[in-house]
Structure 1
């Protein structure tokens, strides 16, 4: 069969002296693969390239190809390839016009269009005399709960959960504590920075100091909210912090708001961030 096909290609190419493309059948069905043969007889000294999967075979789509061995006789070489194509086009006549490329000269040589007819599954008689297929009455089946399947999934999830907790429980708990720790810190910073925008407000300063002490108490696990400024100064041994706290005391209890209140806010914020980073690095309690 292959020898007969090659002989036919040789005969066609000798007659045409240019690329030849022809479908194996004269008709094709939508969605069904069809084959097209392409051959070219040329000088044995020239190098040619056939279309590949990147070529636009419209209205067909490329499926595969089979390249045959070059046949050379008396200085003439015959190259041939068989393409497997498929179409979803609805035109009654379909054309493909492929080409070959000469690598030595850069020349592009087109073949005559390969033509094939579209075979329709529905005939004119079907349209003129449509018939509806008989059907049976619908029988509704009651859906039942698949208890064995549900039990299987529940037990599977429980077993999976047990294994996750057994192997990754400590890691997950640590990650959760870190996430909660970071979230609390970011929420505190956001609120504190908003309050720092109004350093001249007496009520705002009182609230800011209270929120700062509550946050420090959560960080340190110490009763910071009940400590006085002097006690906090001794606890942390930080003169800048003690000075900033005194500015807040003067504003809250004496009604004297210093021009350096923005700096006092900054000192408290920086101190809380520093303690947060130190505690996170050394390990979170709880």
Structure 2
């Protein structure tokens, strides 16, 4: 089957302006039976900052499946040439792991009108006219304004700094939960409709990775026993044991859908508990 060896990543414009949004497209042609994941908005897009991500429906034909997404970016960097390459994560079913394949680096350039000054000295002409002297700079007023600005900023931080920090933490927590829900629900739906054990196995991996980020513990490498030592819950324990039997025994069970729903509900409880701790000010580390 003909397919791209590497993802195709490119800017959708020839040049950019500082502080104005632009778009970067990422696509990957792969065998239809292969599961791939694209970076979400928490990925490091340096030297750019990400605004949003739009996913497109997978298109499948005789060549394979084509997945694609468009990222809206912005740059505050004044370098003339700015480059970016993006990965696509290919799910490895046997190793229960993902392999990152990077696109070829693409470069975009800052528009010339973003640069001030003349570089062509042949166009310069001498100016012989008299120029008026500028007024002496008032450093007292300048430092007064600086002190006032620092005082206002300090007062705002003293009064509202804690609330601003909480809202920022809650925003990141919510964004990560939305990304997890989108991936987990898609795999859960596929497992229901196709009754495919592989989709259920992928859902368990997504669930463990989300818990690892949420609880700051290596759940992705934990066994069922180790998970239950950290999350004592009879319902979760029964669901995980049932899923272990299905995945490792490769035996379909009518309880597979129910177990996946129990795990989803457990992740939701942990998410709400984390939100409550942030609101109460009990979470000091960065989420």
Give me the TM-score of the superposition, normalised by structure 2.
Answer: 0.42
Give me the TM-score of the superposition, normalised by structure 1.
Answer: 0.42
